[in-house]
Chains A and B, each alone.
Chain A
Amino acid sequence: MAQTIVIDPVTRIEGHAKISIYLDDAGAVRDAHFHVTEFRGFERFCLGRPFWEMPAITARICGICPVSHILASAKAGDGILAVAIPPGAEQLRRLMNLAQIVQSHALSFFHLSGPDLFLGFESDPAKRNIFGLVAADPAFARGGIRLRQFGQSIIEALGGRKIHPAWAVPGGVRSGLTAEARAVIAAGLPEAIQVAEGALNRFKGLLARCEEEIATYGQFPSLFLGLVGEDGTWEHHGGRLRVMDAQGNILADHIAAEHYDELIGEAGEPWSYLKFPYYRPQGYPEGIYRVGPLARLNICRSVGTPVADAELVEMRQRAGGGPISASFFYHYARLVEIVAALERIGMLIADPEVGTGPLRANAGVNRREAVGVSEAPRGTLFHHYKVDEDGLITYVNLIIATGQNNLAMNRTVAQIARRYLRGDRLDEGLLNRVEAGIRAYDPCLSCSTHLAGQPTVELALIGPDGTVIDQIGPDL
């Protein structure tokens, strides 16, 4: 008899989700669904609001990466003004985005996935959290907490607060960087780099023991999408879109944000509030692609900073070269990106002129439609707006990083279930492995469900006739 397994809620991810595993008549895993169970409706309730308000409102999509939304929104606003923002403002936006990458990646690695990686995927669930990690390895956990704090403090130094700083605005930014703040950042950098490199070394030490996880936590060919610079280097805020296939062929390159809909289509399913973006030329669901740290490091030629570049070369070697298809390497990529971001922060603040001069271009509504794109920690983020002659919003489309990994996360769950499901019963070890597979993508379901709202995973095992034969969580 065919059956379904449900995991509910999925924990230590940023949002509310459930997972169903479908069995066929022979009791083998037929398919798996990762259900996102939040809905918030931003794309509708923003209609009629001035585009000037959009950075501050869309920040509230997500408390983990508000900066990403603020920046993508402000960029769309620049497009409506039809201005090039002053160079000082551009530098400071970049600085804040780099800080955002550091804090968010640190949260993912130390606070959310660290307990799996360093306490064990099947360790005691009551201790498998950041406090358990603090108890087991206080220096390591404290370093992670301080690394996240470092990123957050740069955001605060620029924007006046750590979460939801209404700082980047259409045309530029509201305020500059004080000399004192620059000195504080400079003073904090060496420790931050030391923590990041220490984490990289620890992670490399794990790799040899994680062959199975590498082979099953999302190991399949897919496309990769992200921004790269003019010369193909790693990019996080400017640049153009590139799409690469699993063999390393570049399928699309130098695509401007305005043309994103030529690359990306969005499908829906009755069992998730999260849409399913796909690479339009290949159709749904064949056009499965991944975004985020691993995708960015796959598609770029090099990072452009010395330590991160050396780490990238080593990571590619360890993964066997070519674009890396194993999602377990998202963790690795995240650490390399922390190093890259810290190096770039160092380069920016070394310049005493950084963020000086005018910081905001003034203009009115000169264009009625614009797309802002930025690399959020989890991947490429698009804000597409249309406005009327007064600048009131008439259309909003948001394509969120996590949504773009939706197809890949579903496939990952099925792959792990095939490997670790024994019989037709769920056990805690399987549950956490499935969840850990999802955590590799660091899904931000607050973001993804801007559309559609909740932070938990439930797991269900479902038979061929649709009956639920086993279920774990949630507490409802």
Chain B
Amino acid sequence: MADKLRLATVWLGGCSGCHMSLLDMDEWLIDLAAVADLVYSPIADHKHYPKNVDLVLVEGAVATNEHLELARKVRQRSRLVVALGDCAVTGNVTAMRNPLGAAATVLQQVYITHGDPRGVLPDDPDIVPRLLDTVVPLHATITVDLFLPGCPPSAPAIRALIEALLKGETPPAASRFG
């Protein structure tokens, strides 16, 4: 048991499409479960990002202070960090709000100017995370080891990456960036 791969998946600012592509590995997931333990993921019940993670797949761009804190924790506690999908790799659709201006301006536009007469700003600082003024890709905040582009990357591409890592091989060329 102890030598099973400690695998995590993290969802930052994205649409969950990259996670759905992971699930599109279908029955291979069952084979994967035999050699890897899922130690943190939105599809499981972990509340805390654990220590000593071998491999983490990160979906989404960094859009809020909570994303930033989680990204840093992920880096500290994981051996190999993969930016999974275009949002993590470049910012992609999640970063399309950047030209609209700073976070406060965007929120004002969405909830007040453009909102219902009952429009209220969701700004309770104890509850909702603070939006960053600029959405950035993962590597702008932490060191990223591998990049898997695609919106989302296809299930076979994700599988090829994991299989290579499991065998201790260099992952396919598509997982390089820049």
User: What is A's interface to B at a CB cutoff of 8 Å?
Assistant: 8-9, 11-12, 14-16, 18, 20, 35, 37-41, 43-45, 57, 60-64, 66, 107, 111-112, 125-126, 128-131, 134-135, 138, 141-142, 145-146, 148-149, 152, 161-164, 265-273, 275, 284, 432, 446, 451-456, 472-476
Contacts and interface: CB of A to CB of B under 8 A. Distances in A.
Contacts of B174: none
Interface residues of B, number: 66
Given A63-B17, A454-B129, A131 B38 contact: yes
A15 B59 CA distance: 12
B70 interface: yes
Contacts, number: 211
A62 B43 contact: no
A454 B115 contact: no
A251 B11 CA distance: 41
Contact of A60 (B66, B93, B115): B93
Interface in B85-142: 92-94, 96-97, 99-100, 106-107, 109-111, 114-116, 118-124, 127-129, 131
* Among all A-B residue pairs, the 8 with the closest Cβ atoms: A63-B17, A473-B47, A129-B44, A41-B97, A475-B48, A455-B42, A268-B120, A60-B93
A141 B106 CA distance: 43
A475 B70 contact: yes
B169 interface: no
Interface string B150-165: 0110110000000000
Nearest to B59: A63
A290 to B, nearest CB: 20
B41 to A, nearest CB: 8
18 contacts: A39-B63, A44-B97, A44-B106, A45-B99, A60-B151, A125-B45, A134-B29, A138-B30, A149-B24, A149-B26, A164-B17, A268-B118, A268-B121, A273-B122, A446-B14, A446-B15, A454-B64, A455-B16
Given A37-B127, A454-B13, 14 more contacts: A39-B64, A43-B110, A44-B100, A44-B109, A44-B110, A60-B93, A61-B15, A62-B17, A107-B23, A134-B29, A268-B118, A272-B122, A454-B66, A475-B70
Contacts of B127: 18, 20, 35, 37, 271-272
B66 A270 contact: no
B176 interface: no
Contact of B116 (A40, A135, A268, A456): A268
B43 A130 contact: yes
